[in-house]
C-alpha cells in the first residue's frame, strides 16, 4: 500500500511534464538560432577575424612628390631610408624586451615607452614607428634577432632630401609627424598617428598633392610571427610632382646676397605675380625635421633671438621707412596736391609745435627730385596736406595692411593706421602730429617685404596688382586652385587708378633714385633700366637711442624695393636687411638679384653682354652715398 502511494507521488503531473518539454524545446531553439547566427550569418566576420590572426598588414608608404623649379630642376627629392617598426600583435611581454631593443637601436627605454604611449589609442594591428632612418648596424641587429624579437620589423621608405645649408627652407617648408594637436583639427581628419605631413611652406600648402596615397601588403605569418608568404597587396600611389614659379638661378643670387645677414629678399614678376625667389635669414635645416627632431637642435632654434623659423618675406612686420614715399607720391599726385608743391628743406620743419628732422639741407625740393633725394621735409609737408585717412586709403588700395593672398601659410597682414584703426585698437583719437611720421613710413605703419614688392611693382605696372604665388595655377585643377585661394585669402588681383601722367612721374622719379643724385646711386647698373626706392627705418626713437646707447640691434633697418625696367617691370625685388643701417646697402643686394635676372634673360635672347657685378655693400655703420642726397634713406 505504501509502495503504491510512493510511486504515485513520484510520477510527474501532465502539466509539469508539458512545461518541461516546452522548456527543453525553447532551449534547443535558442541554441539552434545561436549556432545558425554564428555559422551562417556571422561566417564572414569570423572568417575575417581568423584571417587577421594569420595575416599581417604591412604599410607601403607612398613617396612624396618632388618639388621642382620653374624649369623643371629638382629642388626637393627623396632618398631611400629604412624605418624600424614595433608590432603589437605578438603575444609577448614587450616590457621584458625593451632593454634589448633600446640597446640595439641606440635608444633609451624611456624613449621607446614614450613612443608606445603616443600610439596607445591606435589600432593594435597598426605598426608603431620606433626609429626612422636606422643605420646599417641597427638593421643588422633587427635581422639577427628575428626569432627572439619578432615584434620588430623594418620597412623601406622614401624620405625627404632638402637642399643643404637651409637653401630656400622657408619657401619649401619641411615635413614631420602629424601631432596630437593636428589630429584634433578638421583638415587632418583623414590622418592617423605616425603619418608624415607638411608642416610649413609649400610642403604644408600643397601637402594633399605631394603626399600621395599609401598602400599595403598582406603578409601571411606563422605562429611565431614570421612572414611565410604574400597574400595580396595594394600598390601605393606616389605623390604628384610640383613645379614652382621659383627660378633656381635667381634664388641662388638672393641666397648669396643675404649670406651672413639678417633679413629677407623676395623677387616677383609683377605681370603675373609669379615669385621668382624668396629667401629669409637666418635659416634652418629642414633635413633635421624629416627624421625625429632632436631636442638640442630644436632648442638652438627656439633660443635664437633672430627667429630662424620665421619667413621674414611674409611675416616680418616692420616700418617700411622711405620706401613708403612711393605710395605717398601716388596719393599726392592722384589727389592733385603734389604736382605744384615746392618745399624749402633746411634740415627739417616744425609741425604742431614739434621739429621733425631731415637728414640733409636739400634746399628747393619739388615732386621731381623729392623721391631721388628722399627728402623727409617734402613728405612731412605732403602728409600734413593729405591727412591720415587719405594716406590710408591709397596705402590700403595697394595692399598695405592686408594679406597679399600668397599661397604660403602664416602670412602677416601688417598695419596701416587710420583714425578708425586707432579708435578701434587703442580706444583713442588720432592726433594730427602722428600723420607727419607716417608720411615717411615711420610711426604705427608696418609692412612685409612681399607687401612692398607687390605694391611698388603694381604702381610701376600702371596700377595693376597681381596675387603673388609660388605654384603655377596651371599646375593645379580648378578645385585645387579654388581651395588654395580660399585657404589663403587676400586682396587678389586688382587695379588702382593711376593716370598715365602720374605713372610717368613716379617711375621716372624711381629711376632717379639709382641715378647720380639718388640715394641708391651706388647700386646703379650700367645698361639696365634699374629703378627703385631706398628706405632707412629707425627701430627706436632718438630719445630712446640716446638713453640706451648705440649697438648693432639699435641700428636702423635697411630697405630697398627695386624694379627693372622702370615702367611695366619684368621683375620687382624687395630687400629687408635688419640693422643694415642705410637703404643704399640693401639697394646693392637687390642689384645682385637684378643682375642675375638680366644676365639670364640676355643669355636666353642670345645677347652675351653681361651686366657688371656690383661691388660689395657698404659695411654696416658706414655711410657713403651720392652728393646732395640723404645717406641712403
- What would the pLDDT profile of 240-290 be if each residue is shown by its tens digit? 999 999 999 999 999 999 999 999 999 999 999 999 999 999 999 999 887
pLDDT of residue 288: 87
Q: Residue 341: CA atoms inside 13 Å, Cβ hemisphere, count?
A: 27
Residue 276, φ and ψ in degrees, nearest 5: -95, -25
What is the enclosing helix (H) or strand (E) of 408?
Answer: none
Q: What is the pLDDT of residue 218?
A: 72
Look up residue 631 and give its three cell numbers: 645717406
Q: Which residues pair with 219 in a beta bridge?
A: 56, 230
For the CA atoms of 158, 240, 74, 274, what is the dihedral angle to 10 degrees? -140
- Taking residue 344's Cβ as centre, other Cβ atoms within 10 Å add up to 13
Residue 189, φ and ψ in degrees, nearest 5:
-60, -30
> Is 571 in a helix, a strand, or coil?
strand
pLDDT of residue 44: 67
Note whether 78 and 161 are within 8 A (CB): yes
Torsion 316-594-201-479 (CA) sign: positive
Q: Who contacts 339 (Cβ-Cβ below 8 Å, separation ≥6)?
A: 333, 367
Characterize the bridge pairing of strands 242-243 and 67-68. parallel
DSSP 245: S
Cell of 219: 603578409
Pair 215, 558: CB distance under 8 Å: no
Element (H, E) at 67: strand 67-68
Which ranges of the chain have pLDDT less than 70? 1-12, 17-18, 36, 38-58, 89-92, 125, 219, 221-232, 540-552, 608, 613-633
At 316 the pLDDT is: 95
The pLDDT value given to residue 630: 42
Enter the C-alpha cell of residue 3.
Answer: 509502495
Amino acid at each position: 500500500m505504501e509502495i503504491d502511494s510512493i510511486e504515485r507521488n513520484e510520477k510527474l503531473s501532465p502539466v509539469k511534464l508539458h512545461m518541461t518539454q516546452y522548456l527543453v524545446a525553447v532551449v534547443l531553439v535558442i541554441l539552434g538560432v545561436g549556432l545558425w547566427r554564428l555559422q551562417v550569418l556571422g561566417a564572414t566576420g569570423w572568417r575575417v577575424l581568423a584571417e587577421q590572426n594569420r595575416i599581417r598588414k604591412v604599410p607601403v608608404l607612398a613617396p612624396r612628390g618632388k618639388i621642382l623649379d620653374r624649369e623643371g630642376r629638382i629642388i626637393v627629392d627623396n632618398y631611400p631610408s629604412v624605418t624600424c617598426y614595433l608590432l603589437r600583435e605578438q603575444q609577448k611581454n614587450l616590457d621584458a624586451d625593451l632593454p634589448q631593443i633600446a640597446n640595439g637601436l641606440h635608444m633609451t627605454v624611456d624613449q621607446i615607452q614614450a613612443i608606445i604611449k603616443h600610439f596607445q589609442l591606435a589600432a593594435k594591428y597598426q605598426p608603431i614607428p620606433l626609429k626612422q632612418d636606422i643605420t646599417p648596424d641597427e638593421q643588422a641587429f633587427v635581422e639577427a634577432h628575428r626569432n627572439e624579437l619578432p615584434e620588430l620589423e623594418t620597412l623601406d621608405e622614401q624620405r625627404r632630401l632638402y637642399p643643404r645649408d637651409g637653401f630656400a627652407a622657408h619657401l619649401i617648408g619641411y615635413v614631420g609627424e602629424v601631432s596630437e594637436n593636428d589630429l584634433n583639427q578638421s583638415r587632418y581628419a583623414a590622418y592617423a598617428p605616425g603619418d608624415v605631413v607638411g608642416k610649413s611652406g609649400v610642403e604644408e600648402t600643397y601637402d594633399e598633392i605631394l603626399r600621395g596615397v599609401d598602400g599595403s601588403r598582406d603578409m601571411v605569418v606563422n605562429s611565431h610571427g614570421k612572414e611565410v608568404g604574400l597574400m595580396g597587396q595594394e600598390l601605393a600611389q606616389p605623390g604628384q610632382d610640383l613645379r614652382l614659379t621659383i627660378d633656381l638661378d635667381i634664388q641662388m643670387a638672393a641666397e648669396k646676397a643675404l649670406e651672413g645677414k639678417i633679413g629677407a629678399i623676395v623677387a616677383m614678376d609683377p605681370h603675373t605675380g609669379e615669385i621668382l625667389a624668396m629667401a629669409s635669414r637666418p635659416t634652418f635645416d629642414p633635413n633635421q625635421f624629416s627624421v625625429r627632431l632632436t631636442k638640442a637642435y630644436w632648442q638652438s632654434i627656439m633660443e635664437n633671438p633672430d627667429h630662424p623659423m620665421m619667413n621674414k618675406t611674409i611675416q616680418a612686420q616692420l616700418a617700411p621707412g622711405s620706401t613708403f614715399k612711393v605710395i605717398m607720391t601716388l596719393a599726392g599726385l592722384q589727389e592733385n596736391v603734389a604736382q605744384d608743391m615746392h618745399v624749402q628743406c633746411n634740415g627739417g620743419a616744425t609741425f604742431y609745435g614739434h621739429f621733425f628732422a631731415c637728414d640733409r639741407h636739400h634746399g628747393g625740393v619739388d615732386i621731381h627730385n623729392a623721391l631721388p633725394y628722399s627728402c623727409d621735409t617734402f613728405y612731412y609737408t605732403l602728409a600734413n596736406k593729405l591727412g591720415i585717412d587719405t594716406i590710408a586709403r591709397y596705402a590700403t588700395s595697394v595692399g598695405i595692411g592686408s594679406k597679399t593672398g600668397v599661397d604660403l601659410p602664416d602670412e602677416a597682414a601688417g598695419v596701416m593706421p587710420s583714425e578708425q584703426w586707432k579708435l578701434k585698437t587703442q580706444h583713442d583719437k588720432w592726433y594730427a602730429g602722428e600723420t607727419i611720421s607716417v608720411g615717411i613710413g615711420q610711426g604705427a605703419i608696418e609692412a612685409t617685404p612681399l607687401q612692398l614688392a607687390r605694391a611698388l611693382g603694381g604702381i610701376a605696372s600702371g596700377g595693376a596688382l597681381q596675387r603673388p604665388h609660388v605654384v603655377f595655377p596651371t599646375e593645379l585643377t580648378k578645385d585645387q586652385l579654388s581651395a588654395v585661394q580660399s585657404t589663403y585669402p587676400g586682396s587678389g588681383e586688382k587695379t588702382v587708378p593711376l593716370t598715365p601722367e602720374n605713372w610717368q612721374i613716379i617711375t621716372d622719379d624711381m629711376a632717379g633714385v639709382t641715378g647720380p643724385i639718388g640715394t641708391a646711386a651706388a647700386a646703379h647698373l650700367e645698361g639696365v633700366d634699374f629703378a627703385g626706392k631706398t628706405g632707412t627705418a629707425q627701430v627706436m626713437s632718438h630719445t630712446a637711442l640716446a638713453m640706451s646707447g648705440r649697438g648693432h640691434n639699435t641700428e636702423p633697418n635697411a630697405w630697398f624695393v627695386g624694379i627693372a625696367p622702370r615702367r611695366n617691370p619684368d621683375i620687382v625685388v624687395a630687400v629687408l636687411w635688419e640693422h643694415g643701417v642705410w637703404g643704399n646697402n640693401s639697394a646693392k643686394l637687390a642689384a645682385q638679384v637684378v643682375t642675375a635676372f638680366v644676365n639670364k634673360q640676355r643669355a636666353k635672347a642670345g645677347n652675351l653682354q653681361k651686366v657688371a657685378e656690383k661691388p660689395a655693400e657698404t659695411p654696416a655703420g658706414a655711410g657713403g652715398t651720392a652728393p646732395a642726397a640723404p645717406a641712403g634713406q
